[in-house]
Amino acid sequence: MRKTAAFLVMLQVLGGCQGTHAPAPAYRRNEENRALEDPAIAASIMAELAGDLVTILPEGARLSLVADQPKVLSDALRQALVEHGHEIAGSQTAVQGAIPLQTWGAQIDGELLIRISTPSHRLARVYRLAAPPGNEGPGAARPPAVIPAGPLLVETIPQGARS
């Protein structure tokens, strides 16, 4: 009987939590399903992640972007790595001797989960969209700012495992 009562109390508490969410700010509603398609947002995220990625890449390593990856993220990563002095080989096929890079992204409830994988490491971080200063009011045209919403996750992939 106590377990049933405790379960019902827990359901009421959790049910109450479901109804207390405020509506998403306008900048999130407008960008809810398209943030990962925005080149400015992708460039901001990939510039930061590329800085972390180059610390684990061999100096002067030749890199290639795996085909069939999210185009906006791949293009932003390519640009960020070129700015860090890395050579990016052709993106259509893996180039002999180049380290293949894979990008992945998902958007859930206004947060963006981004991952970059190499054969030996995975880097992932969650980002949050935030209204940039001075972006209030109707007709505000500036894209939302992107801020890290958690720590950088660096995972070492055992040799022979799939990334």
Write out the two tokens for 6: 């405790």
Q: Which positions ≥6 away from 142 have C-beta within 8 Å?
A: 132, 134, 135
Residue 4 lies in a domain: no
Summarize pLDDT for 77-113 with one digit per residue, the tens: 999 999 988 888 864 455 778 899 999 999 988 899 9
Any domain includes 30: yes
Q: Which domain holds residue 96?
A: 24-156
Residues 6+ apart with CB under 8 A from 148: 48, 125, 126, 127, 128
Say how many domains are in the chain: 1
Structure tokens at 52: 């972390």
Whether this prediction's pTM lies above 0.85 is answered by no
Which residues of the chain are under the pLDDT cut of 70? 1-33, 90-94, 132-143, 161-163
